[in-house]
A and B are shown apart, each in its own frame.
Chain A
Amino acid sequence: EAGVTQFPSHSVIEKGQTVTLRCDPISGHDNLYWYRRVMGKEIKFLLHFVKESKQDESGMPNNRFLAERTGGTYSTLKVQPAELEDSGVYFCASSQDFGAGGADTQYFGPGTRLTVL
């Protein structure tokens, strides 16, 4: 079974440009998460989709970030316009469902390394 995939693996853009990151979750996983790791900091939650609906977007830094998951399959995260502080590694994760015990195991993609110059 294919894991979570992300595209591109690396992106180098200039401040003010737009970048769109893509995540393909594991097939059949309704839950899709975006996380970000800025250099020197811990991995931080950005937002969570259940199918095509945004369940929680409390971690989104500001309105320059827009995430979509049309059709409830793959998701995109667009940064427009990009700023220097947006540099970091953007991870996507997916999970199947929530059991009685809470969160199901999240499987992470390899990440997109974004550098804003």
Chain B
Amino acid sequence: RKEVEQDPGPFNVPEGATVAFNCTYSNSASQSFFWYRQDCRKEPKLLMSVYSSGNEDGRFTAQLNRASQYISLLIRDSKLSDSATYLCVVNLPGSQGNLIFGKGTKLSVKP
């Protein structure tokens, strides 16, 4: 079983739509959780950290369910510029920052 699993997509949505991505992780000891965004042939960039209480940053909302080992990302009012691959990333305690990546979910927002 992969350490971090994501639906690869692609998710093709119209502008203005709401889209949700899910991710599961296998190690219950995982300590920190993130969503990264990666544009085609570019480097990953941190979109947001994910906290147990859930957190929101503008049109983006992240949720963490530790009992189910499940992380989600909700994007409201999708923009063309949201088109990218979204990477679910976890970090284990004591790993000193060694990030564990999912393969990513590709989002394409169409006019």
Contacts and interface: CB of A to CB of B under 8 A. Distances in A.
Q: Do A and B bind each other?
A: yes
Interface of A: 4, 31, 33, 35, 41-45, 48, 50, 55-56, 58-59, 91, 95, 98, 101-111
Given A4-B43, A95-B97, A101-B32, 20 more contacts: A42-B101, A42-B102, A43-B44, A43-B101, A45-B98, A45-B99, A45-B100, A48-B96, A50-B96, A55-B96, A56-B95, A91-B44, A98-B96, A102-B91, A102-B97, A103-B91, A103-B96, A104-B97, A106-B99, A111-B43
Given A42-B4, A108-B45, A48 B93 contact: no
Interface in B7-43: 31-32, 42-43
Contacts of A50: 96
Interface residues of B, number: 22
Contacts, number: 63
B46 interface: yes
Which of B4, B31, B42, B44 has the largest number of chain A CB atoms within 10 A?
Answer: B44
A101 B33 CA distance: 11
**Which 3 A-B pairs have CB atoms at the shortest separation, nearest pair first?**
A108-B43, A103-B97, A43-B101
A55 B98 CA distance: 10
B99 A103 contact: yes
Given A42-B104, A48-B97, A98-B97, A106 B46 contact: yes
A74 to B, nearest CB: 17
B87 interface: yes
B5 to A, nearest CB: 10
Binding site secondary structure of chain B: loop
Contact of A110 (B43, B46, B87, B93): B43
A112 to B, nearest CB: 11
A45 B46 CA distance: 16
A90 B40 CA distance: 15
A76 B34 CA distance: 27
Contacts of B100: 45
Contacts of A48: 96-98
